Amino acid sequence: MARFTVLRDKASGGAAPGGTECDPCVEVAEIEPRDLRDLACDPGVLGIARSIPIRMITPQPMEDARPEDAVPGWGLAAIGGRRTVTEAVRLALLDTGIDRAHPAFAAARITAQDFVGSGLDDANGHGTHLAGTVLGALEGPIQLVLGKVVMDSGEGLSDRFLAALVWAAEQGACAIGYALTLDMGATVRMLRDEGQPETLAAAAATTLCHETLCLFARLRALLDRRHAARGGVLLVAAAGNDSRRTIAPGFEAGCVGLAAGAQVLAVGAVGPGLAVAPFSNTRPDLVAPGVGIVSAAAGGGTRALNGTSMAMAHALAAAGAWMPRARDAQALREMLLSRADPRGIGPHPGPFDCGAGLVRMPD
């Protein structure tokens, strides 16, 4: 038997395309291959995909960006500084959990849920760092909706992430941020461990990743329909840290997977001089500070990290600041893109490297 992710519509047992009434639900089922076709014929099932490994987008070391040289707060200053919101705003973050005991979160309004079964504590520290950036950028009635979707190792499964998306939207989040990617290598190993030959495992892993992305796209559309009355939900994703421009300028990777899609805002990273980070993937929608970012460390104190994860957290905070002015998620996305500033970004200030430009807080 194998683990599958099953997308259902609890409202109608299979809503007609384009209908507004829907109640998406992500279930996990252990299914024998021979039963898969029967399940696909169930009118209440809107999609099925094998549950596959995902992982946190790992922060990157940089020789010319030593943690001890990081300047606290440079990233927030670069996008316009801290902002106060006067209306209630809910932002969601799906990551490694949070160190709730950290003094940075003493007065924070946080709703949290564990989706991996290891508890909400963050032994990894990635989620704590991102939460510190988001909450440190905003004042006012901000609620952080936090889902732990990968284990402390940074590893997880696609079904937990998809279930957390549904949960975060139901909690009223106007924007959901994450720094996750499908783990192709781990998917190949999973299939090899099940007895598949190497060449078949590689081909099958590609198919499974494609099926998961199709399910992800279907769920995004359902969430927008489900929450149409309040304007839908904007997804804000880290573009990825796969490029290696320090080795050669052409060693670049594009923004794909969970960071791609019409309803996803992909965020690349820039450093203190506004140069695109050498690890940042190409074709983001916009960029944000992601090098030498100082924020909360699990266990107390602070630490500096580099990555498009850190950039995503700045963009998520900016989304929270813009949200009271936006009528819906699409308008919020358009505001973020139209107010982004490409000036000063190097070495190639074009959409291929920096999208619309550097994310900005509202005036």
pLDDT in tens, the chain (363 residues): 899 999 998 886 544 444 557 899 999 999 987 888 888 888 889 999 999 999 999 999 876 666 666 789 999 999 999 999 999 999 999 999 999 999 999 999 999 999 999 999 999 999 999 999 999 999 999 999 999 999 999 999 999 999 999 999 999 999 999 999 999 999 999 999 999 999 999 999 999 999 999 999 999 999 999 999 889 999 999 999 999 988 888 898 888 889 988 789 999 999 999 999 999 999 999 999 999 999 999 999 999 999 999 999 999 999 999 999 998 999 999 999 999 999 989 877 778 899 999 999 999
- Position 246 scores a pLDDT of 86
pLDDT of residue 42: 85
Strand partners, 251: none
CATH class (in words) of the domain with range 52-354? alpha beta
Rounded to whole angstroms, how far apart are CA atoms 90 and 101?
21
pLDDT of residue 36: 86
pLDDT number for residue 70: 77
> Catalytic one among 99, 242, 309, 353?
309
- Residue 16 has a pLDDT of 44
Query: Dihedral of CA 141/147/152/158: which sign?
Result: negative
Q: Find out whether 311 and 240 touch, Cβ atoms under 8 Å.
A: no
C-alpha to C-alpha distances, 99 to 153, 318, 331, nearest whole angstrom: 15, 23, 33
Q: Would residue 309 show up in a list of annotated catalytic residues for this protein?
A: yes
Phi, psi of 159 (to 5 degrees): -65, -30
Please confirm, yes or no, whether 363 is among the known catalytic residues.
no
Q: What does the pLDDT read at residue 350? A: 79
Helices assigned H by DSSP within the chain: 36-40, 74-78, 126-136, 158-170, 184-193, 198-226, 308-322, 329-339, 351-354
Q: Which residue of the set 51, 102, 122, 126 is catalytic?
A: 126
Residues 88 and 325: their CA atoms lie apart, in Å, by 12
Where exactly are the structural domains of the chain? Answer: 1-50, 52-354
Question: Among this protein's residues, is 95 annotated catalytic?
Answer: yes
